[in-house]
Amino acid sequence: MVTVGIIGAGRIGKVHTRSICNFVRNAKIKTIADPFMNEETAAWAESMGIANTTKDYHDILNDAEIQAVLICSSTNTHSPISLEAIAAGKHVFCEKPIDHDLDRIKEVIEALKGSNIKYQVGFNRRFDHNFAAVKQAVLDGKVGEPHIIKVTSRDPEPPSAEYAAVSGGMFLDMTIHDFDMVRFLAGCDAEEIYVQSAVLVDSAIGEAGDVDTAVITLKMENGAIAVIDNSRRAAYGYDQRAEVFGSKGMAATSNDTPSSMVLSNADGVTGEKPLYFFLERYMESFAKEMECFIAAIENDTDTPLGVEDGLKPVLMGIAAKKSVEEHRPVKLSEIG
């Protein structure tokens, strides 16, 4: 049994708390820390069977019983807390991104050298049943040599302009998941990125210095071409799809829906809309990624998504921003 502490009791911290308490057999949460801990959050933690709450995450790092920490706090704290946790000898699960600053990510990489600390980055979509099935089809050679990879990712609602202004921008906040998915499905890194983008959903997002709509093309190291299309608003729900087309065939996944029911009548043929909220769509994947993290600790094996996997999508996000600013393709070798 692995004893863990969770740093950050916001939305994603609560997601991981639920996944561990309800689905992960070989882990238990001893303490949850959050600088804004209040009676309501402490009562929620207690309802989940967690008696210990604190405002100071150092209480977790200084607790010898706690073997692993989950960093679910604000992005600007991810790399500093990672470094402290590594120094304290704790295994680390860090939500994406590790940092927006490449040098700070490289500090974490350097701190891990020579240690036996397990470090996993939270790209949960790799563990989704749909995307995992497409990846398995590629690994099994069923599509042959990959030629074209397509990833569609569209949110049901845009974030506030205030959030957009501090999030690092769409490419480092939203598209970062799709950059990781392209790497996952291609089995290699990108060489070059080109972006066409616009502000079509909310002018306030543009005024905050961000974009809300984009089509991104990527040249991959294995010769495949990848395409990502993003929108901050899909009126019909959470649109999450992927396709790998290759020399022998194609593997593709469609959206999850409440049911597979299709109604056919005189008015037409209709099906149900995609699941609307990301937790409906991905809760199972959050549990699976945590199971893999705990298994890596128990079995002394590598985590499925290491610190380098946290670095590469940030490199891609920075290249995408540069492509928008300079209206040209950007090679990944130009970044970092």
Please tell me whether residues 110 and 189 are part of one structural domain. Answer: no
The pLDDT of residue 260 is 87
Say which CATH number the domain at 36 has. 3.40.50.720
Please tell me whether residues 49 and 130 are part of one structural domain. Answer: no
The pLDDT of residue 278 is 73
CB 331 within 8 A of CB 192: yes
Would you tell me how many other CB atoms lie within 10 Å of the CB of residue 173? 20
Question: Which CA distances in Å does 31 have to 62, 260, 288, 298, 311?
Answer: 12, 41, 21, 20, 29
The pLDDT of residue 212 is 96
Please tell me whether residues 31 and 100 are part of one structural domain. Answer: yes
The pLDDT of residue 244 is 98
Question: Which CA distances in Å does 290 have to 102, 194, 206?
Answer: 25, 34, 36
The pLDDT of residue 167 is 85
Could you give the CA distance from residue 78 to residue 73 in angstroms, rounded to a whole number?
7
In a domain, 294, yes or no: no
The pLDDT of residue 164 is 81
In a domain, 136, yes or no: yes
Please tell me whether residues 43 and 151 are part of one structural domain. Answer: no
The pLDDT of residue 166 is 80
**Local mean pLDDT, 10-residue blocks, the chain (336 residues):** 97 95 95 96 96 97 98 96 98 97 97 97 96 98 98 94 85 97 98 98 94 98 98 95 98 92 93 82 92 97 97 98 98 92
Please tell me whether residues 159 and 249 are part of one structural domain. Answer: yes
Please tell me whether residues 135 and 109 are part of one structural domain. Answer: no
The pLDDT of residue 67 is 98
Q: How many domains does the chain have?
A: 2
Structural domain of residue 245, as residue ranges? 126-276+313-334
